[in-house]
């Protein structure tokens, strides 16, 4: 039983190390994919990754996607869009995606100290 747990832990570590080694590439891929689904979108990274204070074994990467196209969409529709965005991104679960309207973005900005736009 111990061997299985160790195998799982090693796989987890390797997966996260690979993801964070290529995080910028994945962010650019996510931005391109977002633009194909939501052409008016702006994509930002914030939180510990944006500050350079992340821990590859514990942190996620906070991504804020701003689009007026989702303004009146219910939570389930937004969740479906987020699921589509994560498709084909190995370890895409590491992205903590926040999909918001321009009005909601104004609220988010009040609580975010460091934010970087991804193009």
Q: In this model, does residue 115 exceed pLDDT 60?
A: yes
CATH number, domain with residue 57: 3.30.460.10
pLDDT tens for 7-25 read 998 999 999 999 999 999 9
Our count of domains for the chain comes to 1
**Concatenated DSSP letters of 37-106:** H-TT-EEEEETHHHHT---TTT--EEEEEE-GGGTT--HHHHHHHHHHHHTT-TTGGGEEEEEE-HHHHH
Distance CA 108, CA 16 (A): 27
pLDDT tens for 84-93 read 999 989 888 9
- The partner residues of 61 in beta bridges, in order of sequence, read 95
Q: Average pLDDT of 87-111?
A: 94
Q: In this model, does residue 48 exceed pLDDT 70?
A: yes
Q: Which domain holds residue 74?
A: 2-118
């Amino acid at each position: 039983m111990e061997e299985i747990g160790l195998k799982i832990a090693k796989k987890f570590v390797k997966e996260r190390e690979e993801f964070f080694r290529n995080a910028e590439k994945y962010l650019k891929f996510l931005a391109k994919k977002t633009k194909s689904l939501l052409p008016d979108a702006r994509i930002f990274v914030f939180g510990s990754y944006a500050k350079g204070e992340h821990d590859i074994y514990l942190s996620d990467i906070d991504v804020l996607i701003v689009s007026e196209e989702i303004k009146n969409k219910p939570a389930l529709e937004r969740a479906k869009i987020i699921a589509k965005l994560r498709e084909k991104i190995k370890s895409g679960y590491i992205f903590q995606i926040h999909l918001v309207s321009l009005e909601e973005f104004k609220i988010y900005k009040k609580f975010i100290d460091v934010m970087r736009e991804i193009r």
